[in-house]
């Protein structure tokens, strides 16, 4: 048992810190999703990280990764958070799906842009009629000469407004049982027949869209894996998407917590005994979360994360949502009147129990797949 | 003992609900924070509000008012919350009651009752109580108000709305004094102050009740009509259990509103205030928890501006903070209940 960094990890961490110390200010300016300039700055930041070798490091070097374990992805998330840098590009799960399932030809065509962050991607899974019940989706890709013709609609697709490509889960085998009828396609977002409509989030953020597909032609060579393999690939991706390390949340929550602790310590925010205890209680949970994440990451070096990612997601939800309750109560009236960033972060914390599979669905996965309880 | 609304109060609830719904229908949530409708009512809407007697409701007859009891006012305010009315009725009711308690001249109160003078209450910067002076104060639910009075009677013009979580009500800062509008006010007795405080807390609880019950109704409707896995999501136990606990919170809050509204007019002031603190402590926590559950029950759509869910959550959070959240009141109640010899 050893929770400390191995010499290799320690060296990697030190290099990254040095790189951040030198380059953060120059590359991270103006990053946001709220305006065209912000998005452009975000892409610049991602390209700088990629050029320095800090994107998708867990991928095979053949595909542009560094062949490191997932632990290193977590180190990147932690160190960026600790340096108050913007997050890395959220592409680990997409990169793994493509690297693990796509043909060499497809990998050769799309991975350099994905990993180099010269092209941005979105994940087209959810539909108006298929959220929790993802396998019930109805966007179709009919096989034709040399490819597919896609028709349907995706919704709540993060970053779709400016994405160059979409990893699309769609139905290619209407005669097959639901789960077996799905396939995964890489779709170029500038293909004729694609229309995007922006959806503003409840906190005003503008990174969401609805995407319509109207007779969109996709070449057969853009099929990821085999026809009918879509569900399997999606499940594989979601285990990566669910892990808190993949999303970089633990480091960011740690920052929010540390800022709250500092505000109380310095007297900038008054806190009575009740608030001090609540802050301590959530700090306890956050600390345990970080140990738990470290353990999950090490487990992953030897086995596919499988359903245990749902435990990580549920634990993260618990910590994040309580943390924002405590932080908001420390701020008091300043949350409801004045600069709306704290309120908007609080609102965002409510999404943690929805995206990537809702809290109810995650609990069901834990109960049925991990505890082995019977299905209702 | 008779607990519940009488036929007249039920009729008033229906009539105010109809107008509230109509006012709400004229407000546009827009496509995002940058084009959300203003909470300042049009001249026409404000005239309808004044015609309905809402600003006059609680003022005594000698002050041009209707002399309604707190239960009636709570009946109205529940409807304001239920329809998330984007017009400063609550702020007007609170300011009018404060001015009446401080002995403002009848002419001023008559002008408020008639909707001619548009006022807002001044709260301290932490929104915990009425402000002792205009210094650093915030004019609460003040869209369209032309003036706010400090307890010393000084009158203050108001600035632009500040950024705020609630999109249906505005908060503004007092800017410059308006000496010509100043009033002669007198300091309240302890009892008057406590009763005023109890009245205001009760109205916030009523607004929370309306907000949380509207949100829950919408979630239940959604759970009936939204199907996943070939069934309405409302048929899943996880969904039913969340919604069921939320109804427990709504019904308990209704009991708390009824009691604390009755208490304002029926019990000694200190007891009325204690009851109102209990109600506010309960509803602050329950109201926000219900609205958070409602976001969850809606799923992805609940996280977008396209759904009204966040409007309720914003309003509930603001009601919760205003005049003290559950922690504020629990602290006072702990002092009251746990002092040696209590
Ligand atoms: C911030 C954010 C970003 C997102 N980004 C993307 C993206 O990039 N790409 C993408 O494809 N999707 C994305 N989504 C969509 C997300 O995956 C879905 O919102 C989510 O899967 C839930 O589906 P739904 O919204 O249709 O809710 P529903 O499935 O309709 O669920 C509504 C409610 O019913 C409950 N429920 C449903 N089924 C059951 C059941 N069997 N048992 C118990 N309870 C149940 C849910 O828990 C929830 O409370 C995003 C969502 C959010 C909020």
* Residue A187, in any domain of the structure: yes
Residues A32 and A40: their CA atoms lie apart, in Å, by 9
- Chain B nearest C-alpha distance from A111 (Å): 30
Fold: same for B7-181 and B190-338: no
The number of angstroms, rounded, from the C-alpha of A286 to the middle of its chain's C-alpha atoms is: 19
Give one DSSP letter per residue of A6-57, joined into a string: PHHHHHHHHHHHHHHHHHHHHH-TT--SSSHHHHHHHHHHHHHHHHTT-SST
Are A268 and A327 contacting, i.e. CB atoms less than 8 angstroms apart? no
Q: Do residues A142 and A59 share a domain?
A: no
Q: Residue A27: its pLDDT value, please?
A: 82
* Residue A126, in any domain of the structure: yes
Give one DSSP letter per residue of B280-319, joined into a string: HHHHHHHHHHHHHHHHHHHGGGGGBTTSTHHHHHHHHHHH
Are B228 and A136 contacting, i.e. CB atoms less than 8 angstroms apart? yes
In which domain, by residue range, is A70 found? 7-89
What CATH number is associated with residue A47?
Answer: 1.10.540.10
Contacts of B219 (CB under 8 A, 6+ apart): B243, B246, B293, B294, B297, B298
| Ligand 1, pocket-test mutation among A161, A241, A355, A376, most atoms within 8 A of CB | A355
Least trusted range by pLDDT, from A32-36, A291-295, B64-68, B325-329: A32-36
Residues B312 and B317: their CA atoms lie apart, in Å, by 8
Residues A131 and B300: their CA atoms lie apart, in Å, by 8
Are B17 and B78 contacting, i.e. CB atoms less than 8 angstroms apart? no
Q: Residue A26: its pLDDT value, please?
A: 84
Residue A247, pLDDT above cutoff 80: no
Q: Residue B223: its pLDDT value, please?
A: 98
> Any chain B CB within 8 A of the CB of A317?
no
Q: Residue A1: its pLDDT value, please?
A: 85
Q: Do residues A247 and A362 share a domain?
A: yes
Query: For B160-164, what is the mean pLDDT?
Result: 97
What burial class does residue B165 get, using C-beta atoms within 10 Å of its C-beta: 0-12 exposed, 13-18 middle, 19+ buried?
buried
| pTM (predicted TM-score) | 0.96
B342/A335: higher pLDDT = A335
Q: Residue A39: its pLDDT value, please?
A: 87
Query: For A85-104, what is the mean pLDDT?
Result: 91
Q: How confident is the model at residue B154 (pLDDT cuts 50, 70, 90)?
A: very high
Query: How is residue A41 written in tokens?
Result: 């700055």
Q: Residue B225: its pLDDT value, please?
A: 98
* Residue A376, in any domain of the structure: no
Query: For B198-217, what is the mean pLDDT?
Result: 98
Beta-bridged to residue A208, according to DSSP, are: A158, A199
Q: Give the residue from A348, A210, A295, A339 showing the smallest Cα distance to A3.
A: A295
Residue B342, pLDDT above cutoff 80: no
Q: Do residues A62 and A146 share a domain?
A: no
Query: For A266-273, what is the mean pLDDT?
Result: 95
Q: How confident is the model at residue A306 (pLDDT cuts 50, 70, 90)?
A: confident
> Any chain B CB within 8 A of the CB of A303?
no
Q: Quote the ligand 1 centre to A357 CA distance (angstroms).
A: 6
Q: Do residues A80 and A144 share a domain?
A: no
Are B321 and A336 contacting, i.e. CB atoms less than 8 angstroms apart? yes
Q: Residue A243: its pLDDT value, please?
A: 59
Single out the residue in A44, A65, A89 at which a domain terminates: A89
Supply the ipTM of this predicted assembly.
0.95
> Any chain B CB within 8 A of the CB of A360?
yes
Percentage of chain A beyond pLDDT 70 is 97
Are B65 and B97 contacting, i.e. CB atoms less than 8 angstroms apart? no
Q: Give the residue from B223, B232, B198, B303 showing the smallest Cα distance to A344.
A: B303
Query: For A276-301, what is the mean pLDDT?
Result: 91
* Residue A97, in any domain of the structure: no
Pairwise CB contact (< 8 Å): B229 & A340: no
Task: Note if A119 is an active site residue.
Answer: no
Taking CB atoms and an 8 Å cut-off, how many pairs form between chains A and B? 120
- Chain A nearest C-alpha distance from B58 (Å): 28
Q: Do residues A365 and A246 share a domain?
A: yes
> Any chain B CB within 8 A of the CB of A35?
no
**Does 1.20.140.10 match the CATH number of domain B190-338?**
yes
Q: Do residues A197 and A221 share a domain?
A: yes
Question: Which of A155, A333, A364 is the best substitution to test chain B (most B C-beta atoms within 10 A)?
Answer: A333
Q: Do residues A221 and A136 share a domain?
A: yes
* Residue A117, in any domain of the structure: no
Are B149 and B155 contacting, i.e. CB atoms less than 8 angstroms apart? yes
Residues A244 and B126: their CA atoms lie apart, in Å, by 35
Read off the pLDDT of residues A308-327 as tens digits, 9 standing for 90 and up: 889 999 999 999 999 999 99
- Chain A nearest C-alpha distance from B31 (Å): 7
Q: Residue A296: its pLDDT value, please?
A: 86
Q: Whose CA is nearest to atom 3 of ligand 1?
A: A355
Read off the pLDDT of residues B17-67 as tens digits, 9 standing for 90 and up: 999 999 999 999 999 988 899 999 999 999 999 999 999 999 999 999 999
Residues B265 and B24: their CA atoms lie apart, in Å, by 30
Q: Residue A248: its pLDDT value, please?
A: 64
* Residue A202, in any domain of the structure: yes
Map out the domains of chain B as residue ranges: 7-181, 190-338
Q: Residue A267: its pLDDT value, please?
A: 96
Closest CB to A354 among B33, B165, B296 = B296
**For residue A321, what is the nearest residue in chain B, using CA coordinates?**
B292
Residues B50 and B47: their CA atoms lie apart, in Å, by 5
Read off the pLDDT of residues B253-295 as tens digits, 9 standing for 90 and up: 999 999 999 999 999 999 999 999 999 999 999 999 999 999 9
Single out the residue in A69, A89, A109 at which a domain terminates: A89
Query: For A174-189, what is the mean pLDDT?
Result: 96
Q: Do residues A144 and A67 share a domain?
A: no
* Residue A301, in any domain of the structure: yes
Q: How confident is the model at residue B187 (pLDDT cuts 50, 70, 90)?
A: very high
For A373, other C-beta atoms within 10 Å of its C-beta total 11
Question: Angle, to 10 degrees, between the axis of helix A92-101 and the axis of helix A230-242?
Answer: 150
Q: Do residues A339 and A249 share a domain?
A: yes
Q: Whose CA is nearest to atom 16 of ligand 1?
A: A355
Pairwise CB contact (< 8 Å): A329 & B230: no
| Ligand 1, pocket-test mutation among B230, B298, B300, B302, most atoms within 8 A of CB | B300
Contacts of A374 (CB under 8 A, 6+ apart): A368
> Measured from the CA of A160, which atom of ligand 1 is nearest?
8
Pairwise CB contact (< 8 Å): B138 & A200: no
What CATH number is associated with residue A358?
Answer: 1.20.140.10
Q: Residue A82: its pLDDT value, please?
A: 87
Read off the pLDDT of residues A350-374 as tens digits, 9 standing for 90 and up: 999 999 899 999 999 999 999 999 9
Read off the pLDDT of residues B244-253 as tens digits, 9 standing for 90 and up: 999 999 999 9
Please state which CATH number belongs to domain B7-181.
1.10.540.10
- Chain A nearest C-alpha distance from B322 (Å): 8
**Beta strands B148-149; A121-124: pairing state:** unpaired
* Number of domains chain A is built from: 3
Highest mean pLDDT: which of A84-88, A173-177, B108-112? B108-112
* Residue A39, in any domain of the structure: yes
Residue A246, pLDDT above cutoff 70: no
Mean pLDDT of chain A: 92
């Amino acid at each position: 048992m050893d929770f400390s960094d191995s010499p290799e990890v320690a060296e990697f961490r030190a290099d990254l810190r040095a790189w951040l110390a030198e380059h953060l200010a120059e590359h991270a300016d103006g990053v946001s999703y709220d305006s065209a300039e912000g998005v452009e700055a975000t892409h610049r930041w991602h390209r700088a990280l990629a050029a320095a070798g800090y994107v998708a490091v867990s991928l095979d070097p053949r595909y542009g990764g560094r062949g490191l374990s997932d632990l290193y992805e977590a180190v990147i998330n932690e160190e960026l958070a600790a340096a108050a840098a913007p997050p890395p590009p959220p592409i680990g799960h997409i990169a793994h799906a493509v690297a693990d399932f796509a043909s060499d030809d497809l990998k050769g065509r799309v991975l350099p842009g994905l990993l180099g962050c010269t092209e941005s991607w979105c994940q087209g899974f959810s539909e108006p009629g298929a959220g929790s019940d993802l396998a019930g989706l109805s966007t179709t890709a009919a096989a034709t000469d040399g490819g597919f013709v896609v028709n349907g609609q995706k919704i709540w697709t993060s970053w779709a407004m400016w994405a160059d490509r979409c990893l699309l889960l769609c139905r290619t085998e209407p005669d097959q049982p639901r789960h077996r009828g799905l396939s995964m396609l890489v779709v170029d977002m500038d293909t004729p027949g694609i229309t995007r409509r922006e959806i503003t989030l409840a906190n005003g953020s503008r990174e969401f869209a609805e995407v319509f597909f109207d007779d969109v032609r996709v070449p057969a060579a853009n099929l990821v894996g085999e026809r009918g393999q879509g569900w399997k690939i999606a499940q594989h991706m979601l285990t990566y998407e669910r892990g808190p390390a993949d999303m970089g949340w633990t480091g960011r929550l740690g920052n929010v917590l540390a800022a709250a602790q500092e505000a109380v310590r310095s007297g900038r925010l008054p806190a009575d005994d009740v608030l001090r205890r609540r802050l301590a209680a959530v700090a306890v949970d956050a600390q345990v979360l970080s140990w738990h994440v470290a353990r999950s990451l090490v487990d992953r070096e030897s086995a596919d994360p499988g359903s245990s990612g749902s435990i990580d997601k549920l634990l993260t939800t618990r910590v994040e949502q309580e943390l924002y309750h405590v932080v908001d109560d420390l701020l008091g009236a300043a949350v409801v009147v004045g600069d709306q960033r704290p309120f908007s972060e609080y609102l965002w914390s409510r999404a943690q129990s929805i995206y990537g599979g809702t809290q109810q669905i995650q609990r069901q996965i834990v109960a049925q797949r991990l505890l082995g309880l019977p299905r209702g | 003992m008779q607990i519940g609304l009488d036929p007249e109060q039920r009729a008033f609830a229906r009539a105010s609900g109809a107008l509230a719904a109509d006012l709400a229908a004229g407000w546009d949530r827009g496509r995002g924070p940058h084009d959300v409708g203003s909470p300042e009512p049009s001249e026409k809407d404000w005239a309808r509000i004044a015609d309905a007697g809402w600003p006059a409701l609680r003022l005594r007859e000698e002050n041009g008012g209707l002399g309604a009891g707190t239960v009636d006012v709570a009946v109205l305010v529940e409807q304001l919350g239920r329809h998330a009315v984007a017009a400063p009725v609550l702020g007007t009711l609170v300011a009018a009651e404060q001015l009446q308690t401080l002995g403002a001249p009848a002419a001023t109160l008559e002008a408020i009752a008639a909707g001619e003078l548009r006022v807002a209450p001044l709260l301290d910067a932490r929104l915990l109580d009425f402000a002792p002076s205009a210094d650093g104060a915030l004019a609460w639910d003040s869209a369209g108000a032309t003036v706010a009075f400090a307890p010393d009677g000084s009158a203050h013009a108001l600035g632009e709305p500040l950024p705020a979580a609630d999109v249906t009500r505005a908060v503004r800062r007092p800017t410059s004094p308006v000496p010509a509008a100043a009033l002669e006010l007198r300091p309240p007795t302890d009892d008057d102050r406590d009763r005023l405080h109890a009245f205001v807390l009760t109205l916030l609880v009523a607004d929370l009740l309306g907000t949380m019950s509207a949100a829950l109704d919408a979630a239940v409707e959604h759970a009936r009509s939204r199907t996943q896995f070939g069934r309405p999501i409302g048929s899943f136990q996880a969904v039913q259990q969340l919604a069921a606990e939320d109804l427990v919170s709504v019904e308990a809050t209704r009991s708390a509103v009824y009691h604390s509204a009755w208490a304002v007019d029926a019990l000694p002031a200190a007891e009325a205030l204690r009851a109102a603190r209990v109600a506010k402590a309960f509803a602050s926590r329950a109201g926000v928890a219900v609205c958070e559950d409602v976001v969850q029950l809606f799923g992805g759509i609940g996280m977008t501006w396209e759904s009204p869910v966040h409007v309720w959550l914003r309003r509930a959070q603001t009601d919760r903070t205003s005049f003290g959240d559950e922690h504020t009141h629990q602290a006072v109640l702990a002092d009251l209940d746990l002092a040696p010899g209590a």
